[in-house]
């Protein structure tokens, strides 16, 4: 059978779970009663207006022109479309298969090709929110050619409150997957924020009250996209204004998390990717505080500049490799550490700054925290507590690792380096934690001493290269 322009397209649904059942109910309520199939014989019993399931997907295809496939995964989708009694065994001119399952894009392309070979149209169609499927309340997120979308539109209109055609085949699924990232990513953000507030003695309900009062419409969630205003990137000036504020606030969050022993990996990633998030060039302006934000207030660890912000080819390296290396050293080991370096003229020390810090530590691809963990592993193999103390002190200063995590690291390294060397690692970690706690008591943070409090002491070669 084919779609006749003199009549409305007939609808079918395969899979009567929350989504498929809701779609069928919505269409029945609007007078377009679908034919349906489900492996459960009584799946339609509690679905108002929906008839009993037919025996197979093929039977649905014979009696419908637009068939929604609302199954769980790729395996089920393949079985429904291409199995022995699948939809495509009964394909007819004008048949359109609408895949509502969230599957990987290669699977979408595979099923679209199978439909094309059988002479059927294909649309990938993510849906949201699923809990409103039976209320004509979902958005259809569609990928496919425009002609196929228009053929299916009368049926889609009867269960979707809005149809968004995102582009060719695969575009609907890609948009749905990206939307899911926002959903689940925001859940993780809320988890970390609530844990942080709770650790500071704040009832998470008060956090929710503040957010709902300040932004009742939830506009903040998509504010970055709206600020781009349809462009590929934020206006440069907007990003430059926001960057120091974003870096400062995220540095404060990681500092609080470190103090209270709360794991906030998402916050750490956001802190390490400030410029990337704000569409700013991958550059680091040594000494200006603008690469990731201003110098943090006394008592609050500075956020380390994102690894992607500095590269060997960046302008500050070319202009003054030594100054840039000193700035990176301060980011790695704490404000003022670079002042312990001797004046220019020592070949080894000069190369340490202009190559090891200005180029290696500043390379994109790994965050400062990642490079620190690798360096800590190397230091642990030589059994030098003084080197370990320097490396760990920087981690604590930047809020990258908590004391509990560092103690766990000592135990982990003992398995690989042997207990004798691990004793030195444990000693160095203990010294760094004690010094950090002395500078930043949990209840009453005191200003951290700087190198100006005493005459600068040149670091040894081992300290400089740690």
Q: How many CA atoms lie within 13 A of 440 on its CB side?
A: 21
176 is known as an active-site residue: yes
**CA torsion sign, 154 to 156 to 159 to 165?**
negative
Q: Are 282 and 308 in contact (CB under 8 A)?
A: yes
CA-closest candidate to residue 19, choices 152, 170, 95, 129: 129
- The region that residue 230 occupies, defined by phi over 0 for left and psi between -120 and 50 for alpha, beta otherwise, is left
Listed in sequence order, the DSSP H helices in 320-448 are: 321-333, 347-351, 368-382, 385-397, 403-417, 419-439
Residue 438: how many CB atoms within 10 A of its CB? Answer: 11
Quickly list H helices, 200-235.
204-214, 223-228
Rounded Cα distance between 208 and 196, Å, is 13
**164 SS3 class:** strand
Q: What is the CA radius of gyration of the chain?
A: 30
Active-site choice (10, 151, 176, 384): 176
Catalytic sites, residue numbers: 176
């Amino acid at each position: 059978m084919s779609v006749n322009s003199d009549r409305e397209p007939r609808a079918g649904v395969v899979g009567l779970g929350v989504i498929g059942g809701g779609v069928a109910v919505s269409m029945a309520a609007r007078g377009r009663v679908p034919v349906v199939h489900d492996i459960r014989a009584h799946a339609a019993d509690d679905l108002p207006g929906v008839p009993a399931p037919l025996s197979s997907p093929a039977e649905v295809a014979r009696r419908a022109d637009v068939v929604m496939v609302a199954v769980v995964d790729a395996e089920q989708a393949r079985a429904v479309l291409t199995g022995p009694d699948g939809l495509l065994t009964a394909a007819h001119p004008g048949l359109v298969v609408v895949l509502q399952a969230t599957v990987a894009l290669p699977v979408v392309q595979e099923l679209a090709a199978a439909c094309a070979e059988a002479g059927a149209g294909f649309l990938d169609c993510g849906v949201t929110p699923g809990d409103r499927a039976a209320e004509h309340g979902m958005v259809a997120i569609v990928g496919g050619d425009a002609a196929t979308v228009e053929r299916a539109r009368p049926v889609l209109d009867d269960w979707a409150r809005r149809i968004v055609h995102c582009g060719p085949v695969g575009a609907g699924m890609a948009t749905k997957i990206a939307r899911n990232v926002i959903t689940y990513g925001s859940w993780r953000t809320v988890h970390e924020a609530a844990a942080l507030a709770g650790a500071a003695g704040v009832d998470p309900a008060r956090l929710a009250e503040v957010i709902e009062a300040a932004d009742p419409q939830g506009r903040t969630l998509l504010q970055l996209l709206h600020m781009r205003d349809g462009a590929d990137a934020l206006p440069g000036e907007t990003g430059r204004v926001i960057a120091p504020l974003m870096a400062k606030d995220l540095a404060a969050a990681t500092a609080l998390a470190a103090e209270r022993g709360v794991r906030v990996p998402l916050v750490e990633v956001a802190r390490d990717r400030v410029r990337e998030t704000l569409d700013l060039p991958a550059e680091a302006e040594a000494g200006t505080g603008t690469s990731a934000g201003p110098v943090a207030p006394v008592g609050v660890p500075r956020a380390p500049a994102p690894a992607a912000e500095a590269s060997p080819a960046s302008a500050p390296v070319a202009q003054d490799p030594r100054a840039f290396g000193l700035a990176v050293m301060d980011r790695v080991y704490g404000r003022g550490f670079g002042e312990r370096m001797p004046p220019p003229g020592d070949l080894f020390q000069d190369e340490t700054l202009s190559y090891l810090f200005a180029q290696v530590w500043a390379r994109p691809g790994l965050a400062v925290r990642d490079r620190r963990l690798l360096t800590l592993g190397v230091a642990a193999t030589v059994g030098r507590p003084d080197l370990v103390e320097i490396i760990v002190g920087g981690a604590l200063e930047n809020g990258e690792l908590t004391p509990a995590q560092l103690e766990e690291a000592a135990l982990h390294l003992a398995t690989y380096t042997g207990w004798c060397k691990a004793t030195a690692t444990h000693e160095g970690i203990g010294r760094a934690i004690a010094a950090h706690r002395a500078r930043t008591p949990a209840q009453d943070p005191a200003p951290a001493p700087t190198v100006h409090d005493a005459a600068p002491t040149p670091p040894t070669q081992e300290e400089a290269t740690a």
